[in-house]
Chain A
């Protein structure tokens, strides 16, 4: 039995910690107003989701899925493939998001969403 099951916790401790990290990233996205910090929170959320998938793919006593002599049990390669694609798509999204933040800064002079709302309201009232 593993160390944690000896302590009495079921074999779900990893998943709970990963869910905590997901919620931390989600909290940063919805509660902070700075646009760059929102993108940082989104990245934290993404990394924890990947951790959840890869944790599901691990097999006790298995090794990395590279065929070699004398090894009988491999970890599941399918989540690895999906997460590889997801990481690259994630960095593409982050790059586009940061480019949008730079353009917003050029247009409004600030990247706090409360200040952007104020500027927009002033423009609407003036029209």
Chain B
């Protein structure tokens, strides 16, 4: 019963955080709440026996993601503008989709049921044979690296692409492009304001300024 109470309390925290993220306008607070959301979900993963996933979510979601968003907020503004009028269409779409999904869950097996179909075929074989065929005690590592090695190769390629993509989009970024263009425009503006005609230009070139 204690475990169920932990479940309910964590889910209630998640719901409160999500509602707060919807309502707030200060983007700094929103990013911090996203980090908290990520960390509470990592605790929930531990409660659901997914220790590898909890480790990754805490490191990647609550760590790297928060740092990157704060870096973005430092480069752009940190307040969100309020919309003058509120349209009911997004709420209607969201309620319809939610109702359809809840209707779909009535076909699902109950939470925690050991006789659910997904526990019967492939997963059983992995759990029984992983010790003799692959070796490591951690079944998740053996499935990730050996049984499903192709997927992990694709995942590493995606991470590589993300790094290469960010390098392409933002470059090494010592001086931003707009500032450089602005400086060039300013120099051209000053030259035009001096209003030199051809005789002046020849005289300046002879004096070698």
Contacts of A28 in B (CB 8 A): 21-22
Contacts of B72 in A (CB 8 A): 36, 98, 101-102
Number of residues in B with C-beta < 8 Å to the partner?
92
Closest partner residue, chain A, to B122 (CB atom): A78
Say yes or no: is B50 at the interface (Cβ < 8 Å to chain A).
yes
Interface centre among A22, A28, A34, A80, by most B CB within 10 Å?
A80
Smallest CB–CB gap between B28 and chain A, Å?
10
By the criterion CB–CB under 8 Å, are A23 and B139 in contact? Answer: no
Closest partner residue, chain B, to A60 (CB atom): B112
By the criterion CB–CB under 8 Å, are B80 and A81 in contact? Answer: no
Contacts of B126 in A (CB 8 A): 77-78
Smallest CB–CB gap between B69 and chain A, Å?
7
Contacts of B139 in A (CB 8 A): 65-67, 74, 77
Smallest CB–CB gap between A109 and chain B, Å?
9
Contacts of A4 in B (CB 8 A): 4, 8
Digitize B12-37: 1 where CB-to-A-CB distance is under 8 Å, 0 elsewhere: 00110011011000010011001001
Interface of B is mostly: helix
Digitize B142-157: 1 where CB-to-A-CB distance is under 8 Å, 0 elsewhere: 0110001001100100
Closest partner residue, chain A, to B179 (CB atom): A106
Closest partner residue, chain A, to B166 (CB atom): A99
Digitize A60-90: 1 where CB-to-B-CB distance is under 8 Å, 0 elsewhere: 1111111110000111111111011101110
Digitize B22-60: 1 where CB-to-A-CB distance is under 8 Å, 0 elsewhere: 100001001100100110010011001111110011001
By the criterion CB–CB under 8 Å, are B137 and A68 in contact? Answer: yes
Q: Which residue of the partner chain, among B15, B53, B108, B130, contacts A83 with CB atoms under 8 Å?
A: B53
Digitize B102-114: 1 where CB-to-A-CB distance is under 8 Å, 0 elsewhere: 1001101011111
Closest partner residue, chain A, to B12 (CB atom): A17
Contacts of A23 in B (CB 8 A): 94-95, 97-98, 101
- Can you name 19 A-B pairs with beta carbons within 8 Å? A2-B4, A3-B4, A12-B105, A12-B110, A18-B11, A23-B101, A24-B19, A25-B18, A31-B91, A34-B81, A40-B30, A40-B69, A60-B113, A64-B50, A65-B127, A77-B143, A79-B118, A91-B61, A105-B76
Question: What 7 A-B pairs are tightest by C-beta distance, nearest first?
Answer: A11-B110, A92-B162, A31-B90, A60-B112, A3-B4, A75-B49, A24-B18
